[in-house]
Amino acid sequence: MKPVMTQNEFLRQLPATILDKFDPHAELVQIARGGGDKALMNRVDFIYFPVTCVYSLEMSMADGFTSHIGLLGYRDAIGARNLIDLNLPGVPRVILSGYAIRLRSDVFAAALSRSPEVRCVVHDQFVRMSHSLGVTNACNLRHPLQRRLARWILNLNYVSRLNCFGLTHEELAHFLGVRREAVTEMLARLTQAGVLKTSRGRVEILDIVALRGFSCECDQGDQANVEDVRVDRPRGVERDLRVVGV
Ligand SMILES: [Zn+2]
């Protein structure tokens, strides 16, 4: 088995026998930032398992605007939802370039059909994403921008395992659904406090402990849920999850 396969948390949770079957078909590919990935979500030819790249899950609105609703990274599989009868909103768009493991959908679908373990890991990802969407919704309604900004940067650190990101104020404003000027003001406060360093198109975390102090509790809620998901898995899900793709 290629050692890189265990650097994606979704794959790492699968039994070694399954990974050995994936191995001859798995390729490490470079994923470039930018561009809408609508086509990716409508295709069923590949599943992507991010290693270092990060996706924003974006929802298109009737007026043409897209709203950011979540982050996907090394814990996730991108495109697995094409193969099962669960649905979640949003289209993934690459926001941090990097590497991902690519696997043909028919290979993954065959394992999904045969293996309860694979179905459980897919189910866990959906529960974790649903939880994250709920927390983000509550956070957006309740918590001030300063805390939401700190929380969002912490979450990006969590899904990317990086401390420095190529991000403009404009992009951060899009992810938080606010004006760019408001983000610039909040970033200036965090910079003055020595928590972040910002330069043209870059944001660097200097003091992650202090950044957690600026964040709301929603960041910890997301991380704790990674463990809760396994406890909350409903009985029989590995049997009942229906494979519909390929
Ligand atoms: Zn919050």
Domain coordinates of the chain in residue numbers?
A: 3-137+234-245, 143-224
What's the 148 CA to ligand 1 centre distance in angstroms?
A: 6
What's the 222 CA to ligand 1 centre distance in angstroms?
A: 10
Per-residue pLDDT, 225? 45
Q: What tokens were used for 228?
A: 């809760």
Which segment of 6-15, 16-25, 128-137 scores lowest on mean pLDDT?
128-137
What's the 201 CA to ligand 1 centre distance in angstroms?
A: 25
Per-residue pLDDT, 123? 86
Average pLDDT over residues 179-196: 97
CATH top class, domain 3-137+234-245: mainly beta
- Structure-model confidence comparison of residues 85 and 243, the more confident one: 85
- Structure-model confidence comparison of residues 18 and 244, the more confident one: 18
14 vs 167: CA distance, rounded Å: 33
201 vs 204: CA distance, rounded Å: 10
What's the 159 CA to ligand 1 centre distance in angstroms?
A: 17
Per-residue pLDDT, 86? 65
What's the 65 CA to ligand 1 centre distance in angstroms?
A: 23
What's the 143 CA to ligand 1 centre distance in angstroms?
A: 5
Q: How many helices (H) and strands (E) does the chain have?
A: 11, 9
- Structure-model confidence comparison of residues 83 and 215, the more confident one: 215
Average pLDDT over residues 145-169: 95
What's the 149 CA to ligand 1 centre distance in angstroms?
A: 9
179 vs 187: CA distance, rounded Å: 13
Q: Which CATH architecture has domain 143-224?
A: Orthogonal Bundle (1.10)
The pLDDT tens digits for 18-39 are 999 999 999 999 998 874 455 5
